[in-house]
Amino acid sequence: MNMIKGVVAIIPARGGSKGVFCKNIKVLSGKPLIAWTVEQALASSRIDKVIVSTDDEDIAAVAQDYGAEVPFIRPRKLSGDSVPVGDVVPHAIDFLEQAGEFYKAWLCLLPSHPFRTPDMLDSAAKALVDDGFRSFVTVRPIEVYPGRFLTSQNGVLRSVLSKDDDEATVYYRNYGLVFGKSLSRGLGPSYMYPVVEEAHLVDIDTFDDFAHAELVLKEGKYDYAA
């Protein structure tokens, strides 16, 4: 009988990159970009396994150097620029289950977001394993000003209204810092975790983004170091 473990962290990291060549292993403040995410996942007390899904041997070697497992090289059909993460994660889960490894939940951590904390990952794991949530998603608050934005109600577009036209209403949009799902709950609520700190909102796609991330570190705005 296979024992079901707690949480597996999946880090998707393909070799191709439009903005920065070999972005996932480009050095950020002394270590490869992907290493930041690997170290955070390994430092979480609630994550049982950390794997990297990649099509690139160099990325695989770097990930292993920093302690992640690379149990497979991702097939080419799942490595193109247009392939959604929603296809990459099930492939990883299927691979593990075929190998006899079963988990209660998974978390997906994109290496382009280098500044999260183990406590944040612990919260995500707890929500999915202990607290009955079907999914976990980080969200970013946005301010919607009445009269300037539209919403859909029963298929009809309407203006966002408020008693005070000068007062913004706070809404949220998905933000891919951390997201995951329970593998045992088909239905249930989703846990929304707001992220507002500058460091947590860093998303690296360009050389300017790397420069901004270096500045965030220099100014001490990231409050965790492995």
**Chain mean pLDDT for the chain:** 88
Residue boundaries of the structural domains of the chain? 4-140+173-218
Segment holding 163, helix H or strand E: none
pLDDT at 146: 65
Residue 136 to residue 126: CA distance in whole angstroms: 10
Contact 83, 92 (CB under 8 A): no
The topology under which CATH files domain 4-140+173-218 is: Spore Coat Polysaccharide Biosynthesis Protein SpsA; Chain A (3.90.550)
The CA-based angle 9-64-179, given to 5 degrees, is 20
Taking the model in full, what pTM does it have? 0.86
Beta bridge partners of 53: 12
> How far is CA 36 from each of CA 54, 138, 152, rounded to the nearest angstrom?
16, 18, 39
pLDDT at 3: 82
Q: Is the pLDDT of residue 48 over 70?
A: yes
Residue 89 to residue 96: CA distance in whole angstroms: 11
Residue type present at position 46: R
Highest mean pLDDT pick, 56-65, 133-142, 143-152, 182-191: 56-65
